[in-house]
Amino acid sequence: MRLLILGSFEGHLTTASQIALARGAKVNHADTIDKGLHALRTGQGADLIMIDVKLPIARLIESLKAERITIPVVACGTGTDAETAVRAIKAGAKEYVPLPPDAELIAAVLQAVAEESNALIFKDVVMAQVIKLADQIAPSDASILVTGESGTGKEVMARYIHAKSRRANQKFVAVNCAAIPENLLESELFGHEKGAFTGAIARRVGKFEEANGGTLLLDEISEMDPRLQAKLLRVIQEREIDRVGGTTPVKVNVRLVATSNRNLEEEVKNGNFREDLYFRLNVFNLALPPLRKRPQDVKALAEHFTKKYSELNGVPLRPISAESLTRLQGHHWKGNVRELENTLHRAVLLASGDEITPEAIMLTGEQPQAGAGSAEGAAGGDAAAEALGLATLVGRTVADVERDLIIDTLKHCLGNRTHAANILGISIRTLRNKLRQYTDEGVPVPMPGEAEAAQG
């Protein structure tokens, strides 16, 4: 995680920087927007920008859009003034973080951007075979295609390969091909020259140049437009890129790792993906097995997530009961590791007593098992549900329970989307989609600072 802090490097922002460093982020600083933009153009790179609300946030957002630089922006300001928070969000900031910074909130912001833990946790022999192959091929410079269903940990595997490679001390740069529009992705990958398009007021170094000497991850490459696929093929063949609007090729030395949750052979047959590019990328294929084929990993990962979210939420660490583990290992896990993580985060919040019992396990597509287990456990589950504002769960749809859980958690977080998403164990994108749906349905959705303003 690379964090760029814009604003005065004194007091609270210094503390935020120290917290981020302690959480493993690489922190860069610029005291003005112009200096920050210069750092981004010249390839210093960032995965997240934190900006002081005293700086003109709207100008930063407009500059990023004009120059086709895709980086989420989080605003920081003293206190939790609702008007300041709303103004920052309207200016284009994804979130508003009150200062002085809370260590867990900063961690939540970083995790929401990273979206996945970098730790490879496994016990199952099926996964052990994949790791063994990864260890064998990591030291080479060959391109690697990591495939698997959504949520199996493809980006985690890509980072593992980089850490085991001869380029481990160089940069690891990731680009989500599915999240960036085609007209912006070209500039994101290859950079552009001054005057290449309206808004290109200076030369910008793209991700290939930024990752020079290191590893470039092309996440969900199957979503890349065919025109860009042709340009990418040339880059792989010639080991040089052409900036948008440029006339002189630029040599690059990058190890490519690509991921896809689609069957690329089928995509080739259907004419959606270039066959020659597929063979260039697929020198080695690491196919990550779905979680339902890794039963021993369910137990190891569940214990890991239980410990992680117990510490994060300041609740007692409860072991997973044998009956709960049986339920977890028998589930289909369409969302794989990501779905398991979300399930255990909810379970940590709902659990009572000495163990995580089945009534705290809310599996996707199933009604919560209120009343499962002992009478004492059921009573504890009801108490936990009432504490979260869910009231009685029996007889209600999963959608209703989910909506109330999301809205109540958002109120608890004073409308802060990032913090709420972290507590809920879902991605920021998923949370925003849910809130947009609720708004369309006429359900009041708290804005940043609104809950506190109502209380005050």
Same-domain pairing of 194 and 267: yes
Domain boundary among 114, 147, 172: 114
Interatomic CA distance for residues 178 and 155, integer angstroms: 14
**DSSP three-state, residue 180:** coil
Secondary structure tally for the chain: helices H, strands E: 20, 12
Average pLDDT over residues 243-263: 93
Q: How confident is the model at residue 373 (pLDDT cuts 50, 70, 90)?
A: very low
pLDDT mean over 3-11: 79
**Cβ-based neighbours of 436, under 8 Å, separated by 6 or more:** none
**Residue 19: pLDDT above 70?**
yes
What local confidence, expressed as pLDDT, does residue 81 receive? 63
Beta carbons within 10 angstroms of residue 46's beta carbon: 22
Across the range 272-281, mean pLDDT stands at 95
State which of 35-39, 169-173, 213-217, 368-372 shows the largest mean pLDDT: 213-217
- Mean pLDDT, range 273-285, rounded to an integer: 95
Instruction: Report yes or no on 203 lying in a domain.
Output: yes
- What average pLDDT does this structure show over 130-155? 94
pLDDT at 138: 95
Give CA–CA dist 304/334, Å, rounded: 20
CA pair distance 29, 50, nearest whole angstrom: 10
In-domain check, residue 120: no
Closest CA to 41 of 176, 198, 199, 210: 210
Q: How many CA atoms lie within 13 A of 386 on its CB side?
A: 7
Q: Do 168 and 78 share a domain, yes or no?
A: no
Question: Based on the domain organization, do 170 and 277 belong to the same domain?
Answer: yes
Residues 10 and 80 in one domain: yes
pLDDT in tens, 296-345: 999 999 999 999 888 877 889 999 999 999 999 999 998 899 899 889 98
Q: How large is the average pLDDT for residues 378-399?
A: 51
In terms of Cα–Cα distance, which of 151, 120, 65, 71 is closest to 304? 120
85: which residues sit within 8 A by CB, 6+ positions away? 75, 77, 96, 98, 415, 447, 448, 449
Banded model confidence at residue 451, pLDDT cuts 50, 70, 90: very low
Q: How far apart are the C-alpha atoms of 116 and 104, rounded to whole Å? A: 16
Model pLDDT, residue 7: 87
Q: How far apart are CA 96 and CA 74, in angstroms?
A: 6
Please state the rounded mean pLDDT for residues 119-138. 92
Mean pLDDT of 430-445: 81
Beta bridge partners of 52: 76
Are 297 and 441 within one domain?
A: yes
> Predicted confidence band at 394 (pLDDT cuts at 50, 70, 90)?
low
Neighbours of 21 (CB within 10 A): 12
* Longest alpha-carbon distance in the chain: 74
If pLDDT is split at 50, 70 and 90, which confidence band does 270 have?
A: very high
Helix/strand/coil percentages in the chain, nearest 5: 50, 15, 40
Number of neighbouring beta carbons within 10 Å of residue 18: 14
DSSP-H helix ranges across 282-397: 295-313, 322-330, 336-350, 375-387
Place of tokens 């295609």: 145
Residue 43, in any domain of the structure:
yes
d(CA 139, CA 167): 8
- Before 100, cis peptide (omega within 30)? yes
Instruction: Judge if 241 and 141 occupy the same domain.
Output: yes
pLDDT band at 420 (very low <50, low <70, confident <90, very high): confident
Domain containing 345 — which CATH number?
1.10.8.60
Q: Do 161 and 144 touch, CB atoms closer than 8 A?
A: yes
pLDDT, tens digit, for every residue of 58-77?
999 999 888 878 788 988 88
pLDDT value, residue 395: 58
pLDDT of 387 over the 50 cut: no
**Tally of domains within the chain:** 3
Q: Is residue 176 part of a domain?
A: yes
pLDDT over 90 for what percent of the chain? 42
pLDDT band per the 50, 70, 90 thresholds, residue 212:
very high
Nearest in space to 192 (alpha carbons), one of 203, 180, 207? 203
pLDDT at 176 over 50: yes
pLDDT band at 385 (very low <50, low <70, confident <90, very high): very low
Q: Return the closest-CA partner of residue 208 out of 224, 193, 186.
A: 186
Indicate whether 279 and 297 sit together in one domain. Answer: no
Specify whether 304 is located in the same domain as 283: no
Who's near 66: CB < 8 A, 6+ residues apart?
Answer: 198, 199, 200, 201
Average pLDDT over residues 91-112: 76
Q: Which of 171, 241, 237 is nearest to 205 (CA)?
A: 241
We report the CATH number of the domain holding residue 78 as 3.40.50.2300
Same domain, 46 and 152: no
**54: containing domain:** 2-114
Instruction: Name which residue leads in pLDDT, 22 or 166.
Output: 166
- 137 pLDDT more than 90: yes
Position 396 scores a pLDDT of 63
Rounded to the nearest angstrom, the gap between the alpha carbon of residue 447 and the centroid of all alpha carbons in its chain is: 22
Of 88, 114, 140, the residue that ends a domain is 114
- pLDDT value for 371: 41
